Structure 1
Amino acid sequence: MKNPIAALLILAITNAAMSQEKNDPWLDSLIRSQASPFLLNVLNQPDTFQYQFIYTKIDRDKNNKPHFKNYYLHVNKDRYFNPASMVKLPTALLALEKINKLKEYGVDKYSTMLTDSAYDRQTKVVWDSTSADGMPSVAHYVKKIFLVSDNDAYNRLYEFVGQQTLNERLWKMGYKDARITRRFVTMTEDQNRHTNPIRFKRYSDLLYIQPPANNKKNFDFSKKIFVGNAHYNREDSLIKAPMDFTTHNNFPLEYLQQIIQAVMFPGATPSSKRFRLTPDDYRFLWQYMSEKPSESEFPSYDTSEYFDSYTKFFFFKANKGSIPPELRSFNKTGWSYGFLTDACYIVDLKNNVEFMLSGTIYTNKDGVLNDDKYEYEQTGYPWFKEMGTIIYNFELQRPRTFMPDLSEFKLQYK
């Protein structure tokens, strides 16, 4: 070894990174004992596919109170994955939190929300053809975020909450490594710091005006993040260097699991991690986190494009799989740059089974980002389907001291 000191330093860095990783041998053994050759091949290449996986076992006591136990595979908050649309989940929740603070003005989540512009590249929204009354609202944006992961709906709620409020609230809740810095439209860092003025109305009555905002707080971008070995830039030119994600959104998988758990089980969530939502807000969220596009009237979706498993990766999306009526996934997904992510609470209302799954995987064989050549269909969705199926089959047969009462999750759909 020409430079033993350098070799030791690399080894120390590698060991430090591995020490941050959470692994449960029991979970690894369970999955491998049931895995197909395809799945074993993926599991044997954790560095290539950069997968992380959390299985949350839920047991109820005699009072139906849930108790949670997490099991992990290669979960590491310091291993970056692009969260893509996963950031829509906390943004939607914090938009509902913020709208509740405006009730003294007569504003609620169904109030008409008119977005104005006051800074470079900001755009206006004064109507919404997909809503029942043709007008935009926080409720309708939240609905579209969960039904089909609508990007514009996220952008509008990002603007309503404001970049600074969005991040500071998450940090205060304990999500210290969370970072939401951008809309899903091409903008500079400065443009993303500025958010729009907004008006709330009921019919012709003006209820509340929110002025434009500018986040003047600095983010910690000291940790550099590079992915891949080449990428296409905004001008569609091939750059033979990794893509820089240092200033992009960041949301560790464990945070997403905790947030889904907080939404589905607010009564079993510590107050510091609980969102300031009403019982009606929770019922509203459960409805649209689990509803299928074919069950939605406003918006009405082309189900050849937005098929029922469009945003349901675990179990269902591979081969556009159908969803049995007794199964519901209360979830949020994200996909971009070769990364696929899903965090969900699964219920089987026929067999009285419940559990949570959270996972992310990277499928980019050529290492080039922004070329739209990712192995989502060949590797990503089949990985989610088989991982989920193995846990589901285990859940179907495992003994329970007390069977759960899942009646609160039996919702009415179209």
Structure 2
Amino acid sequence: MDNPFIKYSKSNDYVTGDLKKLSSSYIPDNFPHREKQIDGIARVMSSIVTGGISSNLLLYGKSGSGKTSSVLYVTNMLKETLNGNINILYINCEIYDSQYSILVYLTNAIDTGDSPIPILGLPQDRIYSELVKRLNKSGRYTVIILDEIDKLIQKSGSDALYVLLKILTESNASMIGITNDASFVSTLDARVQSRLNQESIIFPPYNAMELRDILKFRVSGVIKEGFITDAAINLCAALGAQEHGDARKSIDLLRIAIDYALKDGKSSISIEDVYMARDRFEMNVLKESIKTQPIHSKMVLLSACLTQETDADLSVTGEIYENYRNICAEIGFQPLTMRRISDLLSDLEDTGLLTTNTRSLGRYGRMKFIRVMGSIQSIQGYILEDPAFSSFQGSKIVRQSKLRTNFDAYVETYKNGDFDSK
């Protein structure tokens, strides 16, 4: 087989610049419609340039509103102004979500020539002292950026932020917190609020017109003029505006549309290309997983849904098989054997669509209970999109009376606490 990358590695006349500029994580040299917020950040931090101490900052705004990009841009400019004589330490609190991990990261991030401390094994007070020592030893002002700071509080409570704020008072440092939770400060302890000493800057959602300007700026000098129609850019902007003004989504949509158009050898990007990009961008993994299942696996899954819908407490292999047979008869398929259906149930469990639990019912024997994972209505809807189910009207659901009697006895045993489950 030929190397599949060869056909996609050819140069393209429509690309006139660095395609990395179309990444949502790229930090550009201009931020349309964020001039006010950038100036606000710079104003607060300008005291650092004159040898003073900056107030702590909290930046609020929805995802994709430019908070992180703006603060990284401003701190990069600050570093350039001070000829690198400043520590800019960025931490994503989705990743470093505990007081201990943040202290270790900060300690090792300070460049003082000291050996890194181990990530495990040291008492927290030792790490605290070492961090303060290194901050002061560096001789530089330090700015600590805590992205998704609300996640740190959710996971570790206010104490984690209290310790960080105490470190700031013992060294030449300040903090910038980034959050999309407008009520963040009100969730903090009173002692933390009093230490925070923060100024706040709001990043409002972008509207469609602003997103259009951002997209035009991003593609300028990167893609040949005329390759992207105005209608395509307007649609990307409109779709991003629907998601609380998410510039990240608009940029990613346009990037995906450009990428596929270039690989397909198209001469321009149309509205249809943007919709195709949206479908890929928002692919419903559950739906795609169900759509790619063999027809008998879909019938087994549909049977499990119908059985569970009738009685959420009881879905077992025997009933699912009988209802599967009824579905086969209704839509015109020859049913597989019980053993083969057991294999299909195991396959569906491997894909995460089902879960099974074998329990002992004491003198009533052992029984495998089966539960559909996710929304039953959604899963049924995805299955019935298959044309093979066009004649399906809703099979009669079989209930096994002996099974029901044994299950009722099991429930009574469960209530009395005299049972063994595995």
User: TM-score normalized by structure 1?
Assistant: 0.22
User: TM-score normalized by structure 2?
Assistant: 0.21
Q: Which has the larger radius of gyration?
A: 2
Structure with greater helix percent: 2
Query: Relative contact order (alpha carbons < 8 A, sep ≥ 6): 1 or 2 greater?
Result: 1
Structure with greater strand percent: 1
